[in-house]
Structure 1
Amino acid sequence: MSKGQQQTLKRTCVDGLPHIGLFLTVISSFMYSICSLLVKMLTDVTFLEMCVVRHGSVAVLTLLPLVHRGHLPFPKGYRLPLLLLGVVTTLALSLQYYSFKHVPLADASVIVFATPVFGVIFAFIFLGEKCSFFHFIMILITMTGIVFIARPQFIFKSQFHHYTGQTWWGIWAAFLSTLFSALSLVLVRKIKDLHYSAVMFGSMVTALIITCFFALYEGQLCTPQNPKDRIILLAFGIFSFISVLCNTKALQIEEVGLVSITRTTAVVFSFIWQTVFFQEYPDLLTLVGSLLVVSCVVLIGLYKWVNSLSPTSSTRQALACLISQTKEHHPIPAGKLCRMRDQGE
């Protein structure tokens, strides 16, 4: 067996595991929550500087597998999607920061973590992925859990009159951030055949160039004076790389809808760090919300397991309710659509 055939067989065995994509997503969410914790610990670093460190660390650490595999950083046929992915990633992070700065954190979190809703919709429209009753139930339960954890003011306390014009701009920024985050998931899934190192390097270099331009323009690109901040930034870059790597691999293996729902486990991890490091203990609603989010991840794992069983399996038939209403959208090519119209179909 040739070396190329061995690599193909190895990738097929790994990617064919029914739960590997969800497992990688949970790891990505865990690393993302650690990055959020490290950001809170930074005392003298601006958001643009953190973005430069994030994008730069991912790009540099991706160079080794990129060179080892002999892949081009911007291969022909994938240049436009990689450029778009870099731009969309930059916009999503920037708008998310703006919303966290001008909107109460709980309110902004509910909007930002609504990514699964748009992830499923965009994947159905642009990728033709499955869209079933099960997906929508999982979205509903997940969003309910997030609302219980975050408890936004506009739901639990009717405080609209306290919102200023700048606050409403922040709410719109959070909403746009959610759209761009969902689009980034779809773009990564769209180029799933490209090696993960090329996907990460191409998109991160694009994002790094854009972020460096604005950081230099604002005069916010300098080395932190506090030694503690330097160590935290180093750890932040490493954990960001692991998070992006696992998320990219997960999207190359698994559907956007299931990945985006599973990513919401970051909310539960963040609540754990909040308890451990900041002594902010949960109440009943927080515990119920966390239980709902975790339950969705367990049910998604069960969904994947049922789909991986043989069609004649008694277990699959007993749990057929999970997959009985699955529908798949297949976009009709323009030429075929015209022929169908001419034939009166």
Structure 2
Amino acid sequence: MSSSSQEKDGPGKCSRIVGFTFALLAAIGWALGGLLAKYVKDAGADDFQFARSLLQFIATLPILTYRKEKIFQDDLKTNLLLILRGLTGVGGNWFYFSSIKFIPLSDAISVTSSYITLVGLFACICLKERCTVIEALLSILTFVGLVLVARPSFLFGNLASESAGDLMIGILLAFASALCTTASFVIVRYLGSGIHYSITMLHYSWVGVIYSLASAGSKGTLRIPCMDDLLLVSLAAVIGIIGLLFATVALQKENAGPVAVVQSTQIIFALILQLVFLGYSPRLTSLIGSLIIFFSSVALTLMRIQYSGKQEQNVDTK
């Protein structure tokens, strides 16, 4: 009786505390990874992507071997979607680390975190999932936050005159990261739970290794970074993988909605870290825009939790 009632009521109290703790640790870890990227002098996004992909490949291979999972599936469509998920995941990571070189850490994380809102819109369009008027309004509010962070010159005039070119490049790169992450999430939703997470992680890894080597080779930057940069890049990659593992544990212990709310706090952690370690105080518009994106993401996620709870109640009463 205890096990059946626990399944009905959802995760237990202890399980939820563990889930929230690991989700919070994942958010802190990802913010720390971005902070480390700020200290790197010569290494670029290709170096970060290569280190992350290679270490993740090494970490994932034993899991696949132990579980005896097939790397490639029986049907062509699923294999193409897995490769596409790898490409979009790699693109999201590469664009994110590229944007950090042009804009403050908190701005990059804020714009990238807009994927929380974008996933709902793309799932509504591509997967025909439910999308209410309030969710659409929250998506518009997120766009307002993005505009405040980007501060385009045609709206803010001289306010964006300082390093306007770098700012716009960084914002576009961060938004491209959000779009790639959104596409990655939609693909994972479409694939469903039938594909083990280690399979998608391995496809991300080999695609990332090939892409980073090809990108660095085409630009003539294929080299081993200096020792200081190599240590920072490797540490950022390890923190990224640990953050992913923490997020996976969090999702196993708690529902996806609350985990997404907790993980969106990386925006707040980024604001604190760049103030403490980099001595950078964000502009008022950037601060307001980041908070708007954060609160709209939280509100949207809470709405989805409430809706899913009502659906479960309706099922139970039938």
Please, what TM-score do these two structures have when normalized by structure 1?
0.67
Query: Are residue 35 (structure 1) and residue 45 (structure 2) matched?
Result: no
8 Å CA contact 2:117–2:297 kept in 1: the answer is: no
Deviation at 1:127, TM superposition (A): 2.1
Query: Are residue 199 (structure 1) and residue 200 (structure 2) matched?
Result: yes
Q: 1:275 to 1:95 in 2, by over 3 A?
A: closer
Letter in 2 for 1:223: I
Q: CA RMSD in A?
A: 4.4
Could you tell me the percent identity over the aligned residues? Answer: 24
1:158 counterpart SS class: helix
Q: 1:154 to 1:108 in 2, by over 3 A?
A: farther
Give the aligned partner of residue 265 of structure 1.
265
2:192 counterpart SS class: coil
CA distance in 1, matches of 2:39, 2:102: 20
Query: Are residue 225 (structure 1) and residue 232 (structure 2) matched?
Result: no
Residue deviations 1:192-247, cap 9 Å, x none?
Answer: 32111111112221122121222233343333332x33332332121111333455
CA distance in 2, matches of 1:80, 1:250: 28
Deviation at 1:116, TM superposition (A): 3.6
CA distance in 1, matches of 2:286, 2:49: 30
8 Å CA contact 2:37–2:100 kept in 1: the answer is: no
Q: 1:156 to 1:31 in 2, by over 3 A?
A: farther
Query: Are residue 278 (structure 1) and residue 278 (structure 2) matched?
Result: yes
Q: 1:236 to 1:88 in 2, by over 3 A?
A: same
Give the aligned partner of residue 157 of structure 1.
156
1:191 counterpart SS class: helix
8 Å CA contact 1:83–1:203 kept in 2: the answer is: yes
Give the aligned partner of residue 130 of structure 2.
130
CA distance in 1, matches of 2:191, 2:87: 16
Q: Which moved more, 1:88-97 or 1:156-165?
A: 156-165
Letter in 1 for 2:204: S
- Structure 2 gaps, min length 5: none
Q: 1:117 to 1:273 in 2, by over 3 A?
A: same
Q: 1:49 to 1:108 in 2, by over 3 A?
A: closer
Give the aligned partner of residue 68 of structure 2.
70
Q: 1:296 to 1:167 in 2, by over 3 A?
A: closer
CA distance in 1, matches of 2:126, 2:249: 20
- Structure 1 gaps, min length 5: 1-8, 313-345
Q: 1:142 to 1:246 in 2, by over 3 A?
A: farther
CA distance in 1, matches of 2:95, 2:282: 28
8 Å CA contact 1:145–1:289 kept in 2: the answer is: yes
CA distance in 2, matches of 1:230, 1:102: 21
For the pair shown, the structure with the greater C-alpha radius of gyration is 1
Deviation at 1:156, TM superposition (A): 6.8
CA distance in 2, matches of 1:217, 1:291: 39
Query: Are residue 48 (structure 1) and residue 49 (structure 2) matched?
Result: no
Query: Are residue 242 (structure 1) and residue 242 (structure 2) matched?
Result: yes
Give the aligned partner of residue 183 of structure 2.
183
Q: How is 1:91-170 mapped onto 2 (pairs within 5 angstroms)?
A: 91-96=91-96, 112-142=112-142, 150=149, 152-154=151-153, 157-159=156-158
Query: Are residue 86 (structure 1) and residue 86 (structure 2) matched?
Result: yes
CA distance in 2, matches of 1:105, 1:236: 14
8 Å CA contact 1:200–1:245 kept in 2: the answer is: no
Deviation at 1:87, TM superposition (A): 1.8
Letter in 1 for 2:157: S
8 Å CA contact 1:99–1:108 kept in 2: the answer is: yes
Q: Size of the alignment, in residue pairs?
A: 299
Q: 1:306 to 1:287 in 2, by over 3 A?
A: same
8 Å CA contact 2:49–2:212 kept in 1: the answer is: yes
8 Å CA contact 1:145–1:290 kept in 2: the answer is: yes
Q: 1:274 to 1:86 in 2, by over 3 A?
A: same
CA distance in 2, matches of 1:134, 1:27: 30
8 Å CA contact 2:31–2:266 kept in 1: the answer is: yes
1:231 counterpart SS class: helix
8 Å CA contact 1:114–1:178 kept in 2: the answer is: yes
Q: Which moved more, 1:75-84 or 1:239-248?
A: 239-248
